[in-house]
Amino acid sequence: MTLDMGQKLLRMESITKSFPGVKALDGVTFDLNVGEIHALVGENGAGKSTLIKILAGVYPFGDYGGQIALDGSARSFNSVRDSEVAGIAVIYQELSLVKDLSIAENIFLGREPRRLGIINWQELYGRAQKAIDDVRLRIDPLTPVRNLGIGQQQLVEIAKALSQNARILVLDEPTAALTDAEVETLFGILNDLRARGVAMIYISHKLDEVFRISDRITVLRDGQTIDTAAAKDTDESRVIAKMVGRAVDQIFPESKHERGEVIFEARDVTVADPSVPGKLLVDQVSFAAHKGEVLGIAGLMGSGRSELLMAIFGAHAGRTAGKVFVNGTLVQIKNPNHAIEHGIGFVTEDRKRYGLILDQTILRNMTLAGLRKLSGRFITDEDAEAAAGERAGNDLRIKTNSVYTVVGTLSGGNQQKVVLAKWLLTNPRVLFLDEPTRGIDVGAKQEIYAQINRLAESGLAIVLVSSELPEVLGLSDRIIVLHEGRVTGEFTRAEATPEAIMSCATGHARATA
Amino acid sequence: MTDQTTPRIKLRTSALRAYTMLLALIAIWLFFQWATIDAAHPFGIFLGAINFSKLLQQTAVTGVLAVGMLMVIVSGNIDLSVGAVVGLAGGVAAMTQDRLGLAGCLAAAIVTGLLIGALQGCLTAYVNIPSFIVTLGGLQAWRGLILKLSKGATIPVELPFFRSLGKDFLNRRIGIALALIAIVLIILTNLRRNRARVKHGLKTIRTASTVMRIVVPSLVIVAFVVLMNQADGLPIPVIFLLAVALAGAFLTANTTFGRYLYAIGGNPDAARLSGINLKRYILAAFCVMGALAGLASILHTARVGSASPDAGTLMELDAIASCVIGGTSLMGGRGTVFGAVLGALILASLDNGMSLLNVENWAQYVVKGGVLVIAVGFDMYGRSKT
């Protein structure tokens, strides 16, 4: 069936879905036209994922209220398979490729072209080649997926979906792990697909990207459709206001940092790539952190930001050189325990992987790094821990009814606060923050920002790494910029502009204050 | 977190499984009690003092091993060699009893276990060989070693006190004295705990709750000792099991060592970045396991009255099954000593009960295997529903 551009393809009407005790969706209406990119935005918990899971058949027909119509006729999907057959493909944030199979095998997994039950490899490779040509991926289809970057893996997923004749593509936070260059490639392909009549639902927290790519934007809040508008008829601040239900004129709170003496200094830190001999991930980077100040480290993905902090913290697998001074004295940090003893705290990126033990309680997670200080060297003191944990929870406004709640059940923002509390309970003098607001909603971000300012005001030295430029600009008193492991720029808050930082981060310019 | 809540009992998945298993254990006991009713025993045999005492003695060796195994599994590892270590350490004790005397030969058994644990722990933690492989190798090597040392012969235990460790009973009065000491300790810890909570500015535990925390365990202890005294008194191996279980429960729940084991098994990356020395604690867990395997070998050798080269065969699987039935996750990070000992008790109850009923040998194996799989199956089903 061919459809004309702009014609109504999908309509979800009065969709309602309840979980025990919560109404996740309450009469949501959403439609999608042929050749359209329709963005779905909203805070975490607004109901985006639930809506998508209904469309994808994860919650079968009868499990929700309301109607889904495709090409004008009502449909009921009882399984993911039903939804796929109807031409709906979802590219989830966590990619679902088999890492040790090749690109071609992944694309045709479970529907390999066969003759008498035997796989016809030549046909499979030929068709796989066509599929990845469609997404402009110039890689041998025999390459194992493991060897691809995240951006390339995503393109493989898209190629897979298209090879199954998907007409509706749902992209869930597709740029969360991509470099800027990869984002450009992805957007080029999405534009191509749109021109070919593929309809796309685009879910993202990054509003600048949403405005760049989408035709229409629908805002969900608390399980309800708040607004659907053409992208050209609205703007970021209006969308944010609708997402949070209040006007956000100032995401970054006013701060009154008072710069004190240098408490931490790293000199000529160099980190070798453990997997590529001769390659340096970080090349002679030096910086100093002052009491009461936020030092921002900007840089694109792969610029060596996280590796720099990991190496200083004694947690990087690669060979490391350089000197670290705390309070003016040279210190040897061979493992994270040394770093903690010298007063360094490190809120690592990717809280689920590096920060939290998801099936343990808030309290257990909070006290893990500072356990011996809080509780005694060998025998633990449950009550001392509980008291410290409750205080930290109150200070950071963690929303839960007890510190004995399992951390995995909390929202992303509250999980991030638990990681922050864990490090504050080690009583640090300098606090590294690596991507402290990744994947959390606007409201929670603001609270984290307020905490960062509060900590700086209380005299802590803060080193902030973030791939979100507005965040670095909005919080830092000074900013250094990394490009391919080297410092290419240094700015004070007054001098820093997004353009200046971006040109240093991309290696176009060098600047030193 | 605006109000300070008192810690409530949280039914975490592992705890939930342990409570379910407690109910299952009671059901198993009641079933065997009913099934052993006959003309001579109108109330059944199974839960009678004499059989119950025997049941607990049968639990002792597996229970001691399960406590060590729990720590190894919680850290994300496994120890398949403990059965062979029981054989080797028991053999060492029997072979050295003439030369080293009682204390010496018992120490030799425990040191043998400890050294093996240290070696296997080093290979796992510092050389990065997966523990499954290290201990699978150990399972064969240690069995081979005892065959060589004993020349394939069974060595009888000659020292009377050594034998008595596996067979004798505590004087009834001492049993009662121990029970009273335990009750006093329970009362003191509960009162102290409330004072500590006040000191830290936490809400005190309600008096009713404190009373329950004192009365329930005290009643259990009294009932237990009275029942045991109706038979021959507290069996020595059971005293060892209780001591090991209490020490293990304290070690896992109230020490940094225990906390770190759960963290390492739960998320090794997060544990490492929180400053925990993973290698050291994994090594320590294997050392504890090894020493407990040495202790288990003493209890086993003493009960059997001799050390045979194939002693302990398949005991590692009983220990692992005990942990799993008691709610331990083989992925690491989850499980309790209470659950592991409960699992050992369930396995021993099935053995004992089926023997009383003269169930054929083959059927006993099938039932035990089935119980293991069903226990985990129920747990997975329960977890998928929440």
List A22's β-bridge partners, or say none: A19
Is there a common fold for A8-244 and A256-343+428-442+462-513?
A: yes
Whether residue A377 and residue B255 make contact (CB cut-off 8 A), yes or no, is no
Q: Measured between alpha carbons, how far is A453 from B57 in angstroms, rounded to an integer?
A: 63
* Predicted local confidence at residue A117, as pLDDT: 86
> Smallest Cβ distance to A336: which of B259, B267, B275?
B275
- A420 contacts A347 by C-beta, under 8 angstroms: yes
Taking 70 as the pLDDT cut, the residues of chain B under it are 1-18, 382-386
> Smallest Cβ distance to A398: which of B1, B258, B266?
B1
Among B227, B211, B245, B253, which residue's Cα sits nearest to residue B172? Answer: B227
First vs last Cα of chain B: how many Å apart?
Answer: 24
User: What's the CATH code, domain A256-343+428-442+462-513?
Assistant: 3.40.50.300
List CB contacts (< 8 A) between A377 and chain B. Answer: 256
List CB contacts (< 8 A) between A421 and chain B. Answer: none
Whether residue A337 and residue B276 make contact (CB cut-off 8 A), yes or no, is yes
Whether residue A360 and residue B275 make contact (CB cut-off 8 A), yes or no, is no
* Predicted local confidence at residue B42, as pLDDT: 85
Q: Measured between alpha carbons, how far is B344 from B244 in angstroms, rounded to an integer?
A: 13
A357 in contact with B at a CB cutoff of 8 Å?
Answer: yes
* Predicted local confidence at residue A207, as pLDDT: 81
Query: Residues B336-386: pLDDT tens digits?
Result: 999 999 999 999 999 999 999 999 999 999 999 998 898 888 777 766 654
| Other C-beta atoms lying within 10 Å of the C-beta of residue B101 | 12
Distance from the Cα of B234 to chain A's closest Cα (Å) equals 30
Lay out the sheet containing A320-326: strands in order across. Answer: A280-290, A262-272, A320-326, A329-331
The residue ranges of every structural domain in chain A are 8-244, 256-343+428-442+462-513
Tokens of B135: 């201990």
First vs last Cα of chain A: how many Å apart?
Answer: 62
Whether residue B277 and residue A382 make contact (CB cut-off 8 A), yes or no, is no
Q: Measured between alpha carbons, how far is A57 from A425 in angstroms, rounded to an integer?
A: 44
Residue of B nearest to A352 (CA): B270
| Other C-beta atoms lying within 10 Å of the C-beta of residue B33 | 18
B10 in contact with A at a CB cutoff of 8 Å?
Answer: yes
3-state SS of B165-227 is HHHCECCHHHHHHHHHHHHHHHHHHHHHHHHHHHHCCCCCCCHHHHHHHHHHHHHHHHHHHHH
A403 in contact with B at a CB cutoff of 8 Å?
Answer: yes
Q: Measured between alpha carbons, how far is B56 from A428 in angstroms, rounded to an integer?
A: 51
Whether residue A404 and residue B263 make contact (CB cut-off 8 A), yes or no, is no
The CATH number corresponding to A8-244 among 1.10.3720.10, 3.40.50.300, 3.40.50.11860, 3.40.50.1240 equals 3.40.50.300
Distance from the Cα of A185 to chain B's closest Cα (Å) equals 33
Tokens of A233: 């008829």
> E-strand spans in B75-141?
none
From first to last of its 513 residues, chain A has per-residue pLDDT tens of: 455 777 899 999 999 998 765 678 999 999 999 999 999 988 766 788 889 999 999 999 888 999 999 998 999 999 988 998 999 999 987 778 898 999 999 999 888 888 888 999 999 999 999 999 988 888 899 999 988 877 888 889 999 988 888 999 999 888 876 777 888 889 999 999 999 999 999 998 778 889 999 999 999 988 899 999 999 999 888 887 787 765 444 567 777 788 899 999 999 999 998 877 778 899 999 999 999 999 999 987 678 899 999 999 999 988 899 999 999 999 999 999 999 999 999 999 889 899 999 989 999 999 999 998 888 889 998 889 999 999 999 999 888 878 999 998 888 889 999 999 999 999 999 999 999 988 787 778 888 999 999 999 999 999 999 877 778 888 999 999 998 899 999 999 888 887 788 778 877 777 754
> Smallest Cβ distance to A336: which of B10, B274, B333?
B274
Chain A and chain B share a number of CB contacts under 8 A equal to 113
List CB contacts (< 8 A) between B269 and chain A. Answer: 353-354
* Predicted local confidence at residue A42, as pLDDT: 82
| Other C-beta atoms lying within 10 Å of the C-beta of residue B139 | 19
The CATH number corresponding to B59-168+235-385 among 1.10.20, 2.30.30, 3.30.1490, 1.10.3470 equals 1.10.3470
DSSP codes joined into one string, B278-325:
HHHHHHHHHHHHHHHHHHHHHHHHHHHTEE-TTTTTTHHHHHHHHHHH
> Which element (helix H / strand E) includes B240?
helix B236-254
The residue ranges of every structural domain in chain B are 59-168+235-385, 170-234
> Smallest Cβ distance to A383: which of B202, B273, B333?
B202
If 0-12 CB within 10 Å is exposed, 13-18 middle and 19+ buried, where does residue B109 land? Answer: buried
* Predicted local confidence at residue A291, as pLDDT: 95
- A95 contacts A157 by C-beta, under 8 angstroms: yes
> Smallest Cβ distance to A387: which of B200, B271, B334?
B200
Among B93, B139, B108, B94, which residue's Cα sits nearest to residue B312? Answer: B139
Q: Specify the pairing of strand A8-19 against strand A65-70.
A: antiparallel
Q: Measured between alpha carbons, how far is A381 from B255 in angstroms, rounded to an integer?
A: 8
Residue of A nearest to B14 (CA): A359
